[in-house]
Amino acid sequence: MFTRRMTKQRQVVLEELKKLTSHPTAEELHQIVRHRLPGISIATVYRNLEILCEEGNAQKIDVAGTRRRFDGDTSTHYHVRCARCGRVEDLPIDPFPQIEETARKNCKHRVLTHRVEVVGICPDCEHLERDALTF
Amino acid sequence: MFTRRMTKQRQVVLEELKKLTSHPTAEELHQIVRHRLPGISIATVYRNLEILCEEGNAQKIDVAGTRRRFDGDTSTHYHVRCARCGRVEDLPIDPFPQIEETARKNCKHRVLTHRVEVVGICPDCEHLERDALTF
DNA sequence: ATACGTGCAAACCGTTTGCTAAGGG
DNA sequence: CCCTTAGCAAACGGTTTGCACGTAT
């Protein structure tokens, strides 16, 4: 069988992800983890994030064409993404159970979960654009 | 200024996308368009899909998948995605205006749009999995 | 002692881009 | 005619993988 080992690298990746609320990309998390483990490779970060998600200790925030982000908060919650810089924040709104209920009623899928994402331009990027236009 | 030209390629890409309700990837659409234009390249399909989206004649379905999918239906509507095969279908449920309203109230973003996606396993994949497990 | 995990670099894969030729307006 | 667009192939960027060594159990 398969015995999972708690290596230093895995532990630090998990700990640092759980500390963050910034929905980091693998690369961002890699930079952070390097403060504690300078030699850790990006591949190891990816592999451990994958394992974390498998185990249900984290989740991927996947948008095609952008960098994948990871979230140490596995409760059901929604996100706001900046269309320009890609940063993701939590959206303070209660989940709508109707979404999965409707899906169960009307689709033949075995429903697993649902995702809601608001897309907008964050204040920082708004200012940048204004500057760029005004120049 | 900039004058957009209606080439044969652009026209066929648009026409074929509008015919479909299957939310194809660029590659899938490329295969279909090739029946009418055997020499068309995947780059041309990508470029024209990008233009279609800019013009508001199509939209990208970018939530939770590796491959980007495109939708010729630009009205606000939600999707169900199979976590196994990646296929996307429309979800017959009325949009929730509260989602964007809440975002406008509680975030400082300039809200542009929102996306809702139910993730599940489609019947086909369910059977495949069962077969695989039973075999 | 025995695999599982790591670091490294190369492979991968969907998407984008630079270039040159073609053709729409 | 001019300038956008197409086709081709190479580049790109994030993610994954093969390999040999290291290390937790």
A56 and A84 together in one domain = no
Buried/exposed B47-78: b ≥16 CB within 10 Å, e otherwise? ebbeebeeeeebbbbbbbbeebbbbbeeeeeb
List chain C nucleotides near protein: any atom < 7 Å from a Cβ. 4-10, 14-18, 24-25
Confidence of residue B3 (pLDDT cuts 50, 70, 90): confident
Task: Determine the pLDDT at residue B135.
Answer: 41
Taking only Cα atoms into account, the Rg of chain A, rounded to an integer number of angstroms, comes to 18
Please give the tally of structural domains in chain A: 2
| Domain end call among B30, B51, B72 | B72
| Residue whose CA is minimally distant from C14 C1' | B67
Q: Has A127 been labeled as part of a binding site?
A: no
Q: Name the closest nucleotide to B66, judged by C1' and CA.
A: C14
* A53 and A92, same domain (yes or no): no
**Dihedral (CA of B127, B129, B130, B135) sign:** positive
Mark which of B24, B54, B72 sits at the end of a domain.
Answer: B72
- Exposed/middle/buried for residue B14 (C-beta within 10 Å: 0-12, 13-18, 19+): buried
Task: Kindly state whether residues B14 and B67 are assigned to the same domain.
Answer: yes
- pLDDT value of residue A133: 43
Identify whether residues A63 and A5 lie together within a single domain: yes
| pLDDT at res. A65 | 63
Residues A61 and A10 in one domain: yes
Does residue B35 sit in the same domain as residue B81? no
Q: Which domain holds residue A91?
A: 75-135
What pLDDT is stored for residue B129 in this prediction? 60
Interchain contact, B118 vs A114, CB within 8 Å? yes
Cβ contact B120–A102 (<8 Å):
no
For the ranges A61-65, A100-104, B99-103, B108-112, the lowest mean pLDDT is seen at A61-65
Cα diameter, chain B = 63
Residue B40 has pLDDT above 60, yes or no: yes
Q: How far is B110 from chain A (nearest CA, A)?
A: 5
pLDDT of residue A129: 60
Taking residues A110-124, report their average pLDDT: 90
| Structure confidence by residue, pLDDT tens digits, A50-96 | 999 888 888 888 776 677 888 888 888 999 988 888 888 899 999 99
Q: What percent of chain A has pLDDT over 90?
A: 50
Q: Measured between alpha carbons, how far is A64 from B107 in angstroms, rounded to an integer?
A: 24
B114 annotated ligand binder? yes
Q: Are residues A61 and A92 in the same domain?
A: no
Same-domain status, A1 and A64: yes
pTM of the full structure: 0.79
Confidence band of B64 (pLDDT split at 50, 70, 90): low
For B62, phi then psi, to 5°, come to: -110, 0
Q: Is A122 annotated as a binding residue?
A: yes
- Whether B63 and B94 map to the same domain: the answer is no
**What is residue A130's predicted lDDT score, i.e. its pLDDT?**
53
Cα(B126)–Cα(B135) distance, integer angstroms: 14
Share of chain B above pLDDT 90, in %: 52
Q: Do B93 and A106 touch (CB under 8 A)?
A: yes
Question: What's the whole-number mean pLDDT along residues B55-75?
Answer: 81
Clarify whether residues B4 and B50 are in a common domain: yes
Our measurement of CA B14 to C1' C25, in angstroms, reads 20
- Shortest CA–C1' contact from B7: which nucleotide? C24
* A72, A101, A116 - which closes a domain: A72
The reply to whether A9 and A44 lie within a common domain is yes
Q: Are residues B87 and B51 in the same domain?
A: no
Q: Which domain CATH number covers B59?
A: 1.10.10.10
Which pLDDT score, from 0 to 100, does residue A134 have? 40
Cβ atoms of A76 and A51 within 8 Å: the answer is no
Does residue A85 sit at the B interface (CB-CB below 8 Å)? Answer: no
Give me the DSSP letters along B85-125.
Answer: T--EEEE-----HHHHHHHHHH--SEEEEEEEEEEEE-HHH
